[in-house]
Structure 1
Amino acid sequence: MQVLKNGLEGLKDGAEFDLVVIGAGGAGLSAAVFAAIDGAKVLVVERTEFVGGTTAWSAGTTWVPGTHHAAKVNPSDTLANVTTYLNHAVGTQAPAALRDAFLKYGAEAVAKIEAQTPVRFRPYPKHPDYISDLPGSTLNGRALEPVPFDGRLLGELFPLLRPPIPEFTVLGGMMVDRTDINHLLAMTKSWPSFKHSVSILWRHLRDRLSHARGTRLVMGNALVGHLLHALSKQGTATLALKTSVDALERDDKGRVVAVRLSSATGKARVLAKHGVVLASGGFNRDPVLRAEKLPGIPAEWCPAAPGHTGEAQALARGLGAVEGQGAQSPAFWAPVSLRQRADGSTAVFPHFVMDRAKPGMITVNQAGARFVNESTSYHLFALGMQAAQQAVPAYLVADAKALRQYGMGMVRPGGKGLAPFLTDGYLTEGASLDALAHKLGISAEGLAQAVADNNAFAQTGVDTQFQRGVTAYQQNIGDTAAGGRNPNLGAMSEGPYYAVKLYPGDIGAAQGLQTNEHAQVLNAKGQAIDGLYAVGNDMNSIMGGVYPAPGITIGPGLVFAHAAARHALAGSTLLGSNP
């Protein structure tokens, strides 16, 4: 693979490629890999200095039902079950034909990339669908995770991989996933946990002798590492960083055949013999579209990577492309907390699973009252914040025991080192609930009642207000080891009490360009714009703005990247005549 680290320096004007991919996130890299392993000459254009996009900051979970991995943990699952589940969860909020195509070709996409590249996945032992009380849902087998990746395999390409969010690492750049965290917390209580913890700690100490951060990559960094490694093995691939797309050009038949690019080191017009794939990440950093689609939600609350400015989508709309309609929401959401870093930047921390669903914690609005099931999915939680009264910001509240056990956002478990968080206001402490309410400026009576109700529910195991802990998904992100009647409920009785402010943060675009089952971009008449494809968050979500399971952005991104590459190259001497 040829890498142009400083824009277009070294790329000839008029250079010809079989496929041009705009964006080097998970979906864009996948499209490039699928095309390159079939022999295509591929150019990947990335506007930032890093590869990976938001995928590199994510958990890397890849939801693709029906793969050969599923049989290892859930052999009784069927695509018919998945269809039933998605029909109930998504319904008419997105075209069923696209869901059918996703399910039809999902297993093939995963099998191909694993058979022909070093990319590897494994099934989660237990990772329930998010709306697990719906027919057709399951506890495992559909969600895959990338196996940990050794960043040293990338050699000089390793610094090009977008580093993880610092607050998601420990000890100066050591990545950890949920399995690692559980082992680290139990390393003095269990021999297997001790061995696992010592192994990753020793690896990290060795890494820091020669690298700026740990090279044992997990979650989204691992997935991007796998994809970049796979692409680097392809001599027909070129990666251009720090490069923007200025125009898409069509021939006299209306087919997209060329792309005009610019960078600090020059401009170039490149030919795209078999098409252009848009994978630029969606609209979330476009100030105009953001104001239109996400009113009242500042960009500062968005925890996604910085590259998705919406410019590529705007170029497509200029060619007649249209956006999908009818979704539950134009974006996917998570509650986030904010903290200013020492360098002046803002850390935006998404509260996915590690705290808010745990016993001994509740979330209240500015009246001190609960307004949402704290153990629901992060998407529904953040939508609930926006729908409720006086819930932006909301307050995640815990007693001292829960804080020690689970941490709160950027505050690590253990209850140590709280002073900096208290000093800068990220964490608020009160010797009593009344004192905490006073510091937060919320109703003391409301908070006292909310805690009293929670404590009563913890005794019975039944939350009569919001039915917390009634589904398999909710129970899975609770704490069964806490010993309560309900893994999501626990008494709050040990002072002092703590709170962290929460805001609704958009974690990615759900509304994008309307496409067909081949990922071809469609115009207002439903006709394909020849030579133009969209994948990832540039493609209108097949889930219709619903978040039915973990990894429902990355999974379809991978599968439709395969579909786009296959269709674009169909009929060429590379693939023959069968799409």
Structure 2
Amino acid sequence: MKALDESVDVLVVGSGGGVAGAYTAAREGLSVALIEATDRFGGTTAYSGGGGMWFPCNPVLVRAGSDDTIEAALAYFRAVVGDRTPAALQETYVRGGAALIEYLEADERFAFKILPWPDYYGTVDGARADGMRHIVSRAIPDDRLGRFQGLVRGPLDHERLGAPTPDLLTGGRALVGRFLAAMAGESNVAAHLSTRLVELLVDDGRVIGAVVEHQGERQVIRARRGVLLAAGGFEQNAAMRAEYGVPGATSDTMGSPANVGLAHRAAIAVGAATDLMDQAWWSPGLIHPDGRAAFALGITGGMFVDRAGRRFVNESAAYDRSGREILRAMAEGRVGTPFWLVYDSRAGEQPPVLATNVSYAPTDEYRSAGLWREAATLVELAEVIEVPEDGLAKTVRRFNDLVARGVDEDFGRGGEPFDLAFTGGAAPMTAIDTPPYRAAAFGVSDLGTKGGLRTDAHARVLDVSGDPIPGLYAAGNTMAAVSGEAYPGGGNPIGASLLFSHLAALHMAGG
């Protein structure tokens, strides 16, 4: 890889969604330097099991016969997000995904497929219950990545559990891998690992490059057309989380280890405006024997209980929605850390959670850590998880009654398409009546912070007066999320990251 102290047209900081900006700039004839703070490419995107993109009416869906319309998708997105983010930004995202996929499919090195994934607010007008707004990259063998072979981050089981790295890249790793494969033979793309952003360089109000640090030495990369900041969020920075009021702990995030807000800090230092800095992409988190709560979805049975032994949320709801309800209950003092998923033994000892993001460790390890507990009776279970006996018994009776009726009158579980996504359409509630009774410890996890730099529809970073800062662009979790305080559908974070990285590069190419 090329040495630093260089001058290029475009500098891209971050190699998750930022790879779309690097690829686009190179394809448009610009020279590119791509820097990544860690020793692997891909950022948080590479951790995604699906690597999905929420891009309504894109060519992959159209070829499959989707009857969706951009107008319906835009009405849905606006209804969910509201006026928390600029309407022009929302429209750019909803309309822009199809054009991006068309652009990529013109290059034979990209290939996509449909992975049906229901929208997360299924009762809102315009929502798609059939999941036909969501696509993923097709898998790619690692040996097709040329000079980038063996350099894609993840998967999580490899990094956290020591599992072997698969030779076939899937999910988010495949998405990043295809961009890298497409750039591997391009002489106008320099890529630098273990290279972190220190500060932005400004001349007469324009960002002209950056000071970076590589192997302990500070060096300069000048950028004639601009700098794209796509370096993820600041979820791994405990001090920044505290400063901006982001709940949760760095140990429980699913973000890439170098996501400590360096790009945020550098941009703020040159006058950038920020928004949504107290926000993240939330989820319930199953606590593993290493003490970390990890993103978990596909809860097909059991019930969450609060300090009083009562249910307090739709356990099978879309993860960001349930995560926010959990945080609200925690803020009110009704829910502690950990809180418990109560279930029974009808399916064995493992909790009814199908997608844990990090694979289950051996059962004995959860038991030894006190994370999975059991008792012969509900009275005894209440004692071991420290909730009132009468509260838990009453809640279980009510829960079993709702199961028998087939309708969750209390929290609407099973009332939206996403609730049923892991059960083949069957109700995600089963009676708790088969001893021994069990409980699994949960906390709150996140997929990264979503607060960042305010941008316009070209991904240009805005200053505190609302004017673009010449030469500075942002995308991904370094950009204040286009979805505001909501999470409209699976593939929204990655989709927006790719699109605004792409649009930034196109704007630089046109300049």
Q: Same fold (TM over 0.5)?
A: yes
Query: Paired residue for 1:392?
Result: 336
Counterpart-to-counterpart distance in 2, 1:100 and 1:226? 27
Contact 1:422 1:429 in 2 (8 A): no
Matched, 1:148 2:139: yes
**C-alpha distance in structure 2 between counterparts of 1:372 and 1:265, whole Å:** 48
Q: Find the residue that maps to 1:159 and give its secondary structure.
A: coil
Unaligned runs of 5+ in 1: 5-9, 174-211, 481-485, 572-579
Matched, 1:281 2:232: yes
Asked if the contact 2:252–2:292 (Cα under 8 Å) also holds between the matched residues in 1, the reply is no
Q: 2:343 touches 2:351 (CA, 8 Å); kept in 1?
A: no
Q: Secondary structure at the match of 2:178?
A: helix
Residues 149-199 of structure 1 show CA distances to partners (whole Å, capped at 9, x for unaligned) of: 2123235633321121118999x74xxxxxxxxxxxxxxxxxxxxxxxxxx
- 1:221 to 1:392, Cα distance in 2 relative to 1, 3 A: farther
* Structure 1 residues 269-308: Cα deviation after superposition (integer angstroms, max 9, x where no partner): 1210100000110222233320033355222221221111
Contact 2:236 2:250 in 1 (8 A): yes
Indicate the residue corresponding to 2:150 in structure 1: 159
- Is the CA contact (8 Å cut-off) linking 1:386 and 1:392 kept in structure 2? no
Aligned partner of 2:107 in structure 1 is 116
Which residue in the other structure is 2:40 paired with? 50
How do 1:14-163 residues align onto structure 2 when only pairs under 5 Å count? 15-25=6-16, 27-59=17-49, 60-73=51-64, 75-116=66-107, 118-124=109-115, 126-138=116-128, 139-154=130-145, 157-163=148-154
In structure 2, list runs of 5 or more residues that go unmatched: none
Q: Is the 8 A contact 1:250 1:258 kept in 2?
A: yes
Aligned partner letter, 1:546: A
TM-score, normalised by the number of residues in structure 2: 0.93
Could you tell me the percent identity over the aligned residues? Answer: 30
Matched, 1:217 2:166: no
- Residue 100 of structure 1 aligns with an amino acid whose one-letter code is E
- Structure 1 counterpart of 2:285, from 330, 336, 345: 336
> Displacement, 1:404?
6.2
Q: Is the 8 A contact 2:84 2:484 kept in 1?
A: yes
Aligned residue in 1 for 2:268: 317
Cα distance in 1 for partners of 2:362, 2:498 equals 41
In the aligned structure 2, how far is the partner of 1:152 from the partner of 1:462? 51
How far does the alpha carbon of each residue in 1:343-389 deviate from its partner, in whole angstroms, 9 at most, with x for none? xxx55421122xx2x1x311111211100011211111111111114
1:201 maps to none
- Normalised TM-score (structure 1): 0.82
Q: 1:460, 1:445 → 2: CA distance? A: 23
Q: Which amino acid aligns with 1:64?
A: F
The residue type equivalent to 1:44 in the other structure is L
- Does the CA contact (< 8 Å) of 1:37 and 1:116 recur in 2? no
**Cα 1:260/1:397, change in 2 over 3 Å:** same
Residue 548 (structure 1) aligned to one of 488, 496, 511: 488
Matching residue within 222, 225, 245 for 2:197? 245
Separation in 1 of the partners of 2:125 and 2:432? 35
SS of residue in 2 equivalent to 1:93: coil
Between the aligned partners of 2:59 and 2:247, the Cα distance in structure 1 is 44
What is the distance in 2 between the residues matched to 1:127 and 1:538?
25
Instruction: State the partner residue of 1:377.
Output: 318
1:437 aligns with 2:437: no
Do the aligned residues in 2 keep the contact of 1:69 with 1:141 (CA within 8 Å)?
no
- Structure 1's 387 and 406: CA in aligned 2 closer, same or farther, altered over 3 A? closer
Question: Does residue 290 of the first structure (1) align with residue 241 of the second (2)?
Answer: yes
Instruction: Tell me the secondary structure at the aligned position of residue 91 of structure 2.
Output: helix
Q: Taking structure 1 as reference, are residues 42 and 448 closer, same or farther at Cα in structure 2, changes over 3 Å only?
A: same
Aligned to 2:316, the other structure's residue is in SS state coil
Code of the aligned partner of 2:439: A
Alpha-carbon separation, structure 2, partners of 1:162 and 1:33: 18
Q: Distance in 2 between matches of 1:117 and 1:262?
A: 36
Please give the alpha-carbon distance, in whole angstroms, between the structure 2 residues aligned to 1:463 and 1:313: 43
Name the CA shift for 1:33/1:156 in 2 (closer, same or farther; >3 Å): closer
Aligned to 1:268: 219
After superposition, the C-alpha distances for 1:29-75 in whole angstroms (9 at most, x for unaligned) are 11111111222111011111111111111131111112011224452
Displacement of 1:403 in angstroms is 4.5
Q: How many residues align?
A: 504
Between 1:258-267 and 1:74-83, the stretch displaced more is 258-267
SS at match of 2:285: strand
Query: C-alpha distance in 2, partners of 1:331/1:523?
Result: 22
